[in-house]
Amino acid sequence: MTELSCQGLQKAFGGLVVTDDLALSVASGEIHALIGPNGAGKTTALAQLSGELRPDAGTVWLDGADITDLSLPQRVHAGVARSYQISSVFRDFTARENVELALQAMDRHSFRFFRPAARNAKRIERAEALLDQVGLGEEATVSAQRLSHGQTRQLEIAMAMASDPQVLLLDEPMAGMAPDEATRLAELIRSLAEAVAVLLVEHDMDVVFSVADRISVLHQGSLIASGDPDQIRADPDVHRLYLRDDVES
Partner 1 sequence: MSDPQTATASPTRTGLRFGLWARGPSRWHVALTVVFLALLSVAPLWVEASGRGYLVTVLTRVVIFGLAAMSLDFVMGYGGMVSLGHATFLGAGAYTAGALTYHSLDGSRLLGIPGTDQALVTWPLATVVGALLGLVIGGLSLRTKGVYFIMATLAFNQMIYFLFNALEIYGGDDGVGLFAARRAIGPIDASDDMVFYYVCFAVLVVFTVILNLVVRAPFGRVVRGCRSNMARMAALGYQTYRYRLAAFALSAAITSLAGAMAVTESQFLSPSFAEWTESGELLIMVIVGGLGSLIGGVIGAGALFLLEELSIDITDNWQFFVGIGLLAIVLGAPRGLTGTLLGGRRSHD
CB 136 within 8 A of CB 155: yes
Q: CB under 8 A: which stretch of 13-21, 61-69, 115-123, 213-221 binds partner 1?
A: 115-123
As a whole number of Å, the end-to-end CA separation of the chain is: 40
CB 174 within 8 A of CB 185: yes
The percent of the chain in helix, strand and coil, each rounded to the nearest 5, is 40, 25, 35
Contacts with partner 1 by CB under 8 A: the residue count is: 49
Residue of 15, 21, 72 whose CA lies nearest to 6: 21
> According to CB under 8 A, which residues from 127 to 166 bind partner 1?
128-129, 132-133, 137, 140-141, 159, 162-163
Output 72 or 178, the one with its CB closest to partner 1: 72
Q: CB under 8 A: which stretch of 19-27, 102-110, 207-215, 235-243 binds partner 1?
A: 102-110
Q: Is 76 in the site for partner 1 (CB under 8 A)?
A: yes
Binding-site member from 16, 57, 106, 178 for partner 1 (CB under 8 A): 106
15 φ/ψ angles, rounded to the nearest 5 degrees: -90, -5
CA angle 45, 46, 49 (to 5 degrees): 90
Residues that bind partner 1 (CB under 8 A): 50, 52, 71-73, 76-77, 81-82, 84, 88-93, 96-97, 100-102, 104-107, 110-121, 124-125, 128-129, 132-133, 137, 140-141, 159, 162-163
